[in-house]
Structure formats: structure tokens, C-alpha cells
A and B are shown apart, each in its own frame.
Chain A
Amino acid sequence: SQQGEEDPQALSIQEGENATMNCSYKTSINNLQWYRQNSGRGLVHLILIRSNEREKHSGRLRVTLDTSKKSSSLLITASRAADTASYFCATVAPAGGTSYGKLTFGQGTILTVHP
């Protein structure tokens, strides 16, 4: 079953604007990861946030995690045309269960950045 649900399904913005994507999940997690997928290519890992962390930064990326609401957001600041891609959140279950270590992906947000 799908663990993560991204919102919105599609987002269209102009270059220079910020892009915010949200992810909700249903069960406890060990960590949550964000990936990017360019059209016709594989996924590229962007950032990982552990369940005991609330915010993390990497370059123009900012990820927040609210475990009480079971949600995360990915913010891309000052977007560029090259940021056009699909973005997926993926969760890892806590240790001890049969799902430990496996990634469970959401359906993704398609981001289009217009020059």
C-alpha cells in the first residue's frame, strides 16, 4: 500500500519563484527521504530527514518534518528551469518490523518551472 501521498500532484511556476511540495504518510517512520526524477530517468536522492529531526537544509532545498501530523514538506527556493522534474517522498519504517529498511514511495509531484 502507498505510504506517502504528495500534494499537489502538479505544480507550475515561473523561474525565481519558490516551490513547495507536501507529503503525508500514515504510519510511524524511521526517516523520510525526498527524490527527484527527470523525465525518462532514474531517481536521484535529494535529502533525508530522520524522525527526530524537524528541519533540514541542503543548498536551495529545505525539508521539514512534523511527526505529530505525519507530514513533510519540500521547499525549493529561487527555482530554475532545470528543477523541472517529478519529486517523490519515500518513508522508511522503524526497526523491528518486516518493512524495516524498505522505501515506500508516494505518487509524486510534477514540478514545471517556466523560464
Chain B
Amino acid sequence: DVKVTQSSRYLVKRTGEKVFLECVQDMDHENMFWYRQDPGLGLRLIYFSYDVKMKEKGDIPEGYSVSREKKERFSLILESASTNQTSMYLCASSPIFPFTGGNQPQHFGDGTRLSIL
């Protein structure tokens, strides 16, 4: 089974801190994604990556950056944390799209519940 592991289940940080959320997948998937999930808003895509050192903005990239130095690891960075970034953050991975016509499902980690005080 595919395993997507997020480094922390719960995290508390202070306003202005630089925050790193780590995600590792063990299935050699090309694609990796970061979402945030808020009540009433569902899941929203922050950033995604199709390959090492490659990144693309999702729907809500402001205030975030990402890093993908190795295929299995995708990091989400909050450059200067703010209280409106308090949320559940979910990482996901999937095989490459072009050969599958975009039909492959995504595999999710258990999430990191981040609180910014």
C-alpha cells in the first residue's frame, strides 16, 4: 500500500515564525500536492509538484512556498506564519498524469493540524 507520511499530526507555532511541514511518500510517485482544509471551504490546493525541483502554484499559494529536492519528499513552508494560516494541512501523492490521462487517484497523509498563536 502507498504510504504518505506527514512529519507532525499537531503543531503549534507563533505568529511570524518560519514553519516547515514535511511530507514523504514511499511509492515513487512523480506528483505531490499540498492542500489546506478548513470548515465550510473544503480542500484547497496550495502548491503541487510534477517532478523534483519543479513546483506550480495551486489556488491559494499566497504566504506559502514549497521545496522538492528529492522525489519522495515535498515540504511546505510558511515564510512568516500568521493566524489565518491556522488550518489542517494535507499532503497527497499520485503517479504521473500524462500516461494515465489524469485518471490516477491521489493518496493522502493523515494531515497536520497547525495552530498559529
Contacts and interface: CB of A to CB of B under 8 A. Distances in A.
Does A pair with B? yes
Given A101-B31, A105-B42, A108-B42, A41 B105 contact: no
Interface string A81-115: 00000001010110100001111111110000000
Nearest to B42: A107
A30 B107 CA distance: 19
Nearest to B2: A45
B90 A100 contact: no
Interface residues of B, number: 27
A16 to B, nearest CB: 29
A48 B101 CA distance: 13
Given A88-B42, A103-B45, A42 B102 contact: no
B115 to A, nearest CB: 14
B105 A33 contact: yes
Interface in B33-84: 33, 35, 40-45, 48, 58-59
Chief secondary structure at chain A's binding surface: strand
A94 B41 CA distance: 24
Contacts, number: 64
Interface residues of A, number: 28
Contacts of B105: 33, 45, 48
Contact of A41 (B92, B102, B110): B110
B97 to A, nearest CB: 4
Contacts of A106: 42
B42 A43 contact: no
B4 to A, nearest CB: 7
Interface of B: 4, 31, 33, 35, 40-45, 48, 58-59, 90, 92, 97, 101-103, 105-111, 113
Given A2-B41, A100-B97, 7 more contacts: A30-B103, A42-B92, A42-B108, A42-B111, A43-B92, A105-B43, A107-B41
